[in-house]
Structure 1
Amino acid sequence: MAKLNIVLHEPEIPANTGNIGRTCVATGTRLHLIEPLGFSLSEKALKRAGMDYWKDLDVTTYVDWEDFLERNPGAKIYYATTKGRHVYSDAHFEPDCYIMFGKESAGIPEEILKEHPDECIRIPMIGETRSLNLSNSVAIVLYEALRQNNFDHMRLEGELHHLSWDD
């Protein structure tokens, strides 16, 4: 079963992290938060955005990047960045890979990106747009990774209730 991982490197805005947490619960994805965070995990805005899903979230926090690497040895990591050479849809997302996103104001530190240029992926945009909203970016790339893994373990069909196709 695919168990993807989203990594947020020093996220700053609680509503974004709350929205991402809700997306992770809905997709069975683990969330990894690398400190320092720009908010408290008990913050009201975080809980509001994550709604009542936050209690079901598989989330781990780390004191810094080195702590993350030590606790996840050998992890296959893709780095989502506007500086990426490759389009996210061209990457081959393994079932247990990690997809990392940087903080809203600055992205992933360049010293990390320079060590992994082939794993840097980007979402195409036109013109001089700096970036998309963090929670939107996570959803775009995560759902591509899930699609590549055939939406493993996810419900693929819905039902319409109280509606007849003959009406």
Structure 2
Amino acid sequence: MYRKLQAHCNTWALSRSWVYTTSARKRTSCILNRCSLRSVTCATAAQPEDIFLAEELQAGSRTSWLRKDLSVVLVNPQIPQNTGTIARTCAATGVGLHLVGPLGFEIDNSRLKRAGLDYWPYVTVKVHKSWQDFYAFWSSQEGQKRLLAFSKSGSCHYATPGLYQTGDWLLFGAETTGLPQEAYDSVEQSGGLVVRVPIVEIHVRSLNIAVSQGIGLYEAMRQIDGPPGTQDTP
């Protein structure tokens, strides 16, 4: 039966364009699969577990380049790729990253590593088990400090002149539920504000958290650092 079917199939008239298109698709698929496998392998090799994510803020050379005037806080993040992308931005800006549990993924999730590429060794991260643990840690920090929460329902536009100041901690909530009420209560107690990144909600409910974080962080740096060239690169 198989031979009869094969013989029948061999009599089909296939157009040259169809054969070319099918072959090209197969070659492209094969190349993409090989590239994907290669990138995952390289990323894994470049990110040993002992340097992938530090549970405590490191001392010495690891934080010698770290900005002391700004911090990014992700509260209950759910999507590892978003957290990996944000970690990459923190590495590029020299800003410390705080992850507040419960998290929606394992800390060694492969997608988390992949999104951060080979920059994880250059990200300073502190993991907090809960909001209460984070707030206790934050309260114990010396010097000027304030919590700024980002929300589409915030009362203050993210680009308001003079909004940001030294010692600000930028809070971003879970992709699905946003920030918990206790976080908003802490923001008010700290003398902080709820910041809005405006969007047209006709077709889109919200921005990706990594996009919001990039918008807020770079605007904060622009306001705190002043015009380009007036401060040294972190």
Q: Shorter-chain TM-score: which interval?
A: 0.7 to 0.9
Q: Describe the shift of the 1:126–1:5 C-alpha distance in structure 2 as closer, same or farther (beyond 3 A).
A: same
TM-score using structure 2 length: 0.61
Q: Distance in 2 between matches of 1:59 and 1:37?
A: 14
1:66-118 Cα shifts (integer Å, max 9, x gaps): 11111111641100011211111116212221000000001002343256466
Structure whose residues are more often helix by fraction: 2
- 1:30-76 CA distances to partner (integer Å, 9 max, x unpaired)? 10000011111111101110011011111001011111111111641
1:8 maps to a residue whose letter is L
Matching residue within 132, 149, 153 for 1:79: 149
Q: Note if 1:60 corresponds to 2:60.
A: no
Deviating more after overlay: 105-114 vs 80-89: 105-114
Judged with a 3 Å threshold, the aligned counterparts in structure 2 of structure 1 residues 44 and 147 are, in CA distance, closer, same or farther, namely: same
CA distance 1:5–1:115, change in 2 (3 Å): closer
* Structure 2: segments with no counterpart, 5+ residues: 1-66
Partner of 2:111: 45
Distance 2:98 2:122 in 1: 14
* Distance in structure 2 (CA, Å) of the matches to 1:61 and 1:111: 18
> Which one of the candidate residues 138, 146, 161 is aligned to 2:221?
146
Q: Equivalent pairs: percent with the same residue? A: 37
Amino acid at match of 1:126: V
SS of the residue corresponding to residue 72 of structure 1 reads helix
Q: CA deviation at 1:126?
A: 1.4
Q: Secondary structure at the match of 2:111?
A: helix
Q: CA deviation at 1:123?
A: 0.3
- Give the TM-score taking structure 1 as reference length: 0.85
Q: 1:85 to 1:71 in 2, by over 3 A?
A: same
RMSD over equivalenced CA pairs, Å? 1.9
User: Which residue of the partner structure matches residue 10 of structure 1?
Assistant: 76
What is the total number of aligned residue pairs between the two structures?
155
Give 5+ residue unaligned stretches, structure 1: 156-167
Alignment counterpart, residue 137 of structure 1, candidates 209, 212, 218: 212
Determine the structure 2 residue equivalent to 1:89. Answer: 159
Higher relative contact order (CA 8 A, sep 6+): 1
Cα distance in 2 for partners of 1:111, 1:36 equals: 14
Compute the displacement of 1:153 (Å): 3.8
The structure with more radius of gyration: 2
